[in-house]
């Protein structure tokens, strides 16, 4: 009996010790760290080497074209969510960007709209829910997708359900999966240099950055963001871009919010 009581007391003590280290916004930290570790393994042995190889052999202008293409596809959910939030000017900008870049910009390979001074306003359904007062809920790490919250994960389901931009170009199933894979590699390659700015506990660092960034996005502290990135806001699309293909205005030569050169 004494051993049972001692074991129970030890269990309670351990639970309280863990509870003291948990932040209020991350009550599922044990589960999240397990998924985080899984994602890190997938990244270390899969996605990161692919991204490094892609970055090494793919010319900057081609990387820029791929980035522009998928950014242009993102203007459809941008338009949808800006409309749901009653942001009429932003809705008009997102619609104009998609029409201009799809036509004059050759399916979005050229970011003509930014060169014309039409600003990009990235919005997703998680931000729409936050705009209408829905709380973020607990922090949540998703397999493969990474940092999120209960609200943002629900919003992600809606964003993926309402729109698959590659349907516009009549891609078959294999081509869509190739496109999604290329987009993932392209996105990962953009943030290779940002890893140098991560210090301390990697999990806590990325969690805190994500939560702070999302709070700013919901409150429109920054009006222009890159929706492909899960943890870091990007510079405005119109800043420093003289040519959507040119090296001088190439976003790969700009600095990101980590303060590192991409």
Please enumerate in sequence order all residues whose Cβ is within 8 A of that of 250, keeping only pairs 6 or more positions apart, or say none: 60, 61, 64
Query: Does residue 82 fall inside a structural domain?
Result: yes
Which tens digits make up the pLDDT trace of 120-143? Answer: 999 999 999 999 999 999 999 999
Q: How many domains does the chain have?
A: 1
Answer whether residue 132 is part of any domain: yes
Q: Are 210 and 230 in contact (CB under 8 A)?
A: yes
| 198 within domain boundaries | yes
Judge whether 54 lies within some domain: yes
d(CA 171, CA 78): 21
* Whole-number Å distance between alpha carbons of 195 and 119: 28
pLDDT of 143-193, one tens digit each? 999 999 999 999 998 887 766 655 666 666 677 777 778 888 888 887 777
For residue 150, give the H/E element and its range.
Answer: helix 150-162
Q: For residue 141, what is the enclosing H or E element?
A: strand 139-142
Report yes or no on 86 lying in a domain.
yes
Kindly tell me if the per-residue pLDDT of 85 is higher than 90: yes
Asked if the structure places residue 238 within a domain, the reply is no
What domain range is 81 assigned to? 24-227
In a domain, 191, yes or no: yes
Q: Please give the Cα distance from 185 to 43 (Å, whole number).
A: 10
Task: Tell me which residue of 165, 91, 166, 77 sits closest to 125, measured CA to CA.
Answer: 77
Could you tell me if residue 247 is inside a domain? no
Q: Is the pLDDT of residue 257 over 60?
A: no
List the end-to-end C-alpha distance of the chain, in Å, as a whole number.
Answer: 62
């Amino acid at each position: 009996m004494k051993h049972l009581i001692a074991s129970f007391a030890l269990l309670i003590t351990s639970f309280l010790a863990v509870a003291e280290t948990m932040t209020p916004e991350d009550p599922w930290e044990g589960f999240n760290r397990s998924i985080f570790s899984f994602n890190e393994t997938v990244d270390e042995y899969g996605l990161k080497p692919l991204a490094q190889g892609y970055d090494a052999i793919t010319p900057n202008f081609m990387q820029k074209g791929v980035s522009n293409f998928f950014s242009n596809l993102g203007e459809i959910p941008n338009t949808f969510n800006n409309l749901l939030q009653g942001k009429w000017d932003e809705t008009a900008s997102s619609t104009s960007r998609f029409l201009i870049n799809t036509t004059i910009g050759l399916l979005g390979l050229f970011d003509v709209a930014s060169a014309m001074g039409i600003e990009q306003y990235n919005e997703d359904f998680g931000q729409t829910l936050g705009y209408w007062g829905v709380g973020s809920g607990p922090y949540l790490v998703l397999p493969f997708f990474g940092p999120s919250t209960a609200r943002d994960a629900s919003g992600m389901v809606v964003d993926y359900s309402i729109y698959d931009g590659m349907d516009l170009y009549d891609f078959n199933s294999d081509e869509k999966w190739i496109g999604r894979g290329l987009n993932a590699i392209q996105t990962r390659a953009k943030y290779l240099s940002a890893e140098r700015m991560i210090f301390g506990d990697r999990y806590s660092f990325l969690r805190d950055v994500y939560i702070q960034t999302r709070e700013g996005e919901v409150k429109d502290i920054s009006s222009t963001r890159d929706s492909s990135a899960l943890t870091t806001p990007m510079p405005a699309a119109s800043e420093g871009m003289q040519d959507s293909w040119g090296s001088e205005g190439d976003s790969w030569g700009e600095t990101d919010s980590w303060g590192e050169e991409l």
